[in-house]
Amino acid sequence: MYTSKISGLGSYVPENVVTNDDLSKVMDTNDEWIQERTGIKERRHIKKGDGNSTSIMGVKAAKIALERAKLTTDDIELIIFATLSPDMYFPGGGVRVQEMMNMRTIPALDVRNQCSGFVYAISVADQFIKTGMYKNVLVIGSENHSGGLDMTTRGRGVSVIFGDGAGAAVLTRSEEEGRGILSTHLHSEGAHAKELSLEGPSTEHWVPEIISENPQENIPYYPYMNGQFVFKNAVVRFSEVINEGLQANNLSATDINMLIPHQANLRISQFVQRQFKLSDDQVYNNIQKYGNTTAASIPIALTEAWEQGKIKEGDLVVLAAFGSGFTWGSAIIRW
């Protein structure tokens, strides 16, 4: 019986720091409002000319993860790339990573599951490893939000929250029972697709149509978010899917050593922490520094927690995410 373990982790964020005060210079917002509602102090934005893109940041994170896994690109048999902000409408980021890393003609698959993209992606990787089809899978979550946000007062309810960055994990076959990814749990509820969405440009809203049909105040090529509705659903689904994962493995909240929640909003993470009666050092948060980096948030947080020695051999690590779709999921890992 094969399982998959995380054999290497890496992350990358652009150098350009954008503070809440920086945002207040271009839109009607302020540090107090942003920190009080989201916990965010600053985020990173790609700067024009700094050479970054969604797939380039993914490559930077992936190189670190591969080195730490002590593997080369030739060892990788599948790339899974999670993002909502690909460099191009098509093809996806996976093939761009393959090209930039000079990899063989291995399969490359993009996952479009927004904030839960990384959890979905490692679940897919885990299935391929469990069946024996692949030994080493490279999973990347990367986002360039700043390229597509409305940086005016009109977009302030969304734009202050999101940031750029990438994280990567190498998943490797293991035969050690009871270790590695114990289980993953995935859900979606398409009835709420529009509550956190970006409608166009798309095949439903192509560019000429957008320009002719939409007045300036209703532009569907910027993200829309029904913040309070998202918040209320997030706290319920996070808790449900963590409980589902624990129960599937006959575990309880007291067994958790480290919870890595998708960095949606510090208030959401704190709510979940209270529900599971976890201490501050059992939940890793870095949204204060990076904002919400969607598919990149869990692998960046997981990498940092591991780098800081907060995850040790044998620890029970729980990943949980919720976001646009709505989609949500969890992964229960024995490190």
Ligand X SMILES: CC(C)(COP(=O)(O)OP(=O)(O)OC[C@H]1O[C@@H](n2cnc3c(N)ncnc32)[C@H](O)[C@@H]1OP(=O)(O)O)[C@@H](O)C(=O)NCCC(=O)NCCS
Residues of the shown chain interacting with ligand X in the complex, contacts defined by CB under 6 A: 29, 33-34, 37-38, 115, 156-157, 160, 225, 227-228, 230-231, 234, 264-265, 268, 292, 322-323
Please, which residue, 34 or 46, has the CB nearer to ligand X? 34
**Annotation marks residue 45 as catalytic:** no
Of the residues 45, 145, 185, 262, only one is catalytic, namely 262
Residues 6+ apart with CB under 8 A from 124: 80, 109, 111
Please, which residue, 7 or 29, has the CB nearer to ligand X? 29
Our CA angle for 135, 140, 142, nearest 5°, is 175
Of the residues 52, 113, 115, 265, only one is catalytic, namely 115
**Annotation marks residue 218 as catalytic:** no
CB of 174 to ligand X, least distance (A): 31
Q: What is the DSSP string of 80-127?
A: EEE-SS-SSSSS-HHHHHHHHTT--S--EEEE--GGGHHHHHHHHHHH
CA distances from 94 to 91, 106, 123 (A): 8, 10, 17
CB of 292 to ligand X, least distance (A): 5
CB of 249 to ligand X, least distance (A): 25
Residue 233 DSSP SS3:
helix
CB of 209 to ligand X, least distance (A): 28
Residues 6+ apart with CB under 8 A from 36: none
Please, which residue, 200 or 227, has the CB nearer to ligand X? 227
Our CA angle for 170, 240, 233, nearest 5°, is 100
Of the residues 113, 144, 285, 292, only one is catalytic, namely 292
Please, which residue, 128 or 328, has the CB nearer to ligand X? 328
CA distance 145 to 164: 6
**Annotation marks residue 292 as catalytic:** yes
Length of the chain: 335
Please, which residue, 156 or 334, has the CB nearer to ligand X? 156
CA distance 6 to 307: 14
Please classify residue 70 by burial: count the beta carbons closer than 10 Å to its beta carbon, then call 0-12 exposed, 13-18 middle and 19+ buried: exposed
CB of 235 to ligand X, least distance (A): 9
Catalytic machinery residues:
115, 262, 292
